[in-house]
Amino acid sequence: MSNTFTVDGQEVPFEPGQTVLQAALTADVFIPHLCYHPEFRPHGSCKLCTVEVNGRPATSCTLPAAAGMEIESNTAEIMAKRRMLLQMLLVEGNHFCPSCEKSGSCKLQALCYALGVMSPHFDQFYPDRPVDASHPEMLLDFNRCILCELCIRASAEVDQKNVFALSGRGITKHLIVNAESGRLADTNFAPSDKAAQVCPVGVILRKRRGFAVPIGSRPYDAQPISDQAERFKPVVKEGS
């Protein structure tokens, strides 16, 4: 049997060791996702990439690809669940796009447009988490955090600094800075860190760089995220 599976009837080849999401993105088949990043080991926290495999739900970012799998991703039921997840994320934080520097580059915003989420649907939480502007070059707006943990993983695995962490449980879970003061200025965080580059929303921003790329010229302005699978293809390391 060849190393292929199907996604909504489309045949997708895969290499041994790839997950369903990795193989699909490599084949330019887009499966909506938020917490997955091609440079990090997936851990399935957002559940947006959930698909049905032979009739059973599974997160495609953590599911090893296997020959003969029949995967459904764009059914009415799955898409409705994805829209609900996005709607819940919208109300759990401050995602007022017109005032956000990340607009046009925001993965959450782009997925909402792609999946037809035009309103939050649920009651707003109105979080009141302090903005951290203590660092001379970087700004943290915790009110926009979607708990994807990408900055945590990047800081620990790539930067070797462990600047970020999560605190609390359930509805109280939130992003924090690993410093006794809780301030970014009291860490060794730098704009060149990988953790400064991976946030899919508008939490981690450079100061004095607002709108350096004008609206209309940003990644998701001209082309929907669903047509940009190439942006999320797995990184092939030398020697692998």
Q: For residue 100, tell me if it sits in a domain.
A: yes
233 domain residue, yes or no: no
Residues 147 and 200 in one domain: yes
CB within 8 A of 209, min separation 6: which ones? none
Looking at residue 215, its pLDDT comes to 86
Q: Which residues pair with 131 in a beta bridge?
A: 141
On whether residue 43 sits in a domain, the answer given is yes
- Quote the tokens at residue 4: 């292929």
Coil vs helix vs strand at 22:
helix
Q: Of the residues 74, 101, 127, which one is the last residue of a structural domain?
A: 74
- Verify that 94 and 205 share a domain, yes or no: yes
pLDDT given for residue 187 in this prediction? 98
Positions of the chain with pLDDT under 50? 1, 239-240
Residues 98 and 217 in one domain: yes
The predicted structure's pLDDT at residue 236: 62
* DSSP secondary structure letters along 165-212: EEESSGGG-EEEESSTT--GGGS---TTSGGGT--SSSSEEETT-TTS
State whether 89 and 175 are in the same domain: yes
Asked, for residue 237, whether it belongs to a domain, the answer is no
Same domain as 48, residue 122:
no
Percent share of the chain, pLDDT over 70? 98
Question: Are 154 and 195 a contacting pair, CB within 8 Å?
Answer: yes
CATH number of the domain to which 30 belongs: 3.10.20.740
Same domain for 185 and 109: yes
Got the DSSP string for 207-233? TT-TTSS-TTSSTTTSS-GGG-GGGGP
Residue 228 placed within a domain: no
Question: Residue 211: its pLDDT value, please?
Answer: 82
**Domain range enclosing 106:** 81-222
| Nearest-angstrom CA–CA distance, 125 and 118 | 18
Domain boundary among 23, 52, 74: 74
- Judged on CB neighbours under 10 Å (0-12, 13-18, 19+), 208 is exposed
Tokens of 152: 């945590």
Q: List Cα–Cα distances, 198 to 34, 69, 158, in angstroms.
A: 11, 31, 11
Residues 21 and 109 in one domain: no
Tell me, what CATH number does 98's domain have?
A: 3.30.70.20
43 and 147 part of one domain: no
Q: Does residue 168 lie within any of the structural domains?
A: yes
Asked if 50 and 101 sit in the same domain, the reply is no
Same domain, 108 and 135: yes
198 and 215 housed in the same domain? yes
Q: Could you tell me if residue 230 is inside a domain?
A: no
Phi, psi of 39 (to 5 degrees): -95, 0
Question: 74, 94, 125: which is the final residue of a domain?
Answer: 74
Residue-wise pLDDT tens digits, 46-72: 999 999 998 899 999 999 999 999 999
Is 65 inside any structural domain? yes
Residue entry with tokens 């699909």: 24
Domains identified in the chain, total number: 2
Are residues 130 and 218 both part of a single domain?
A: yes
Token digits of residue 145: 């955090």
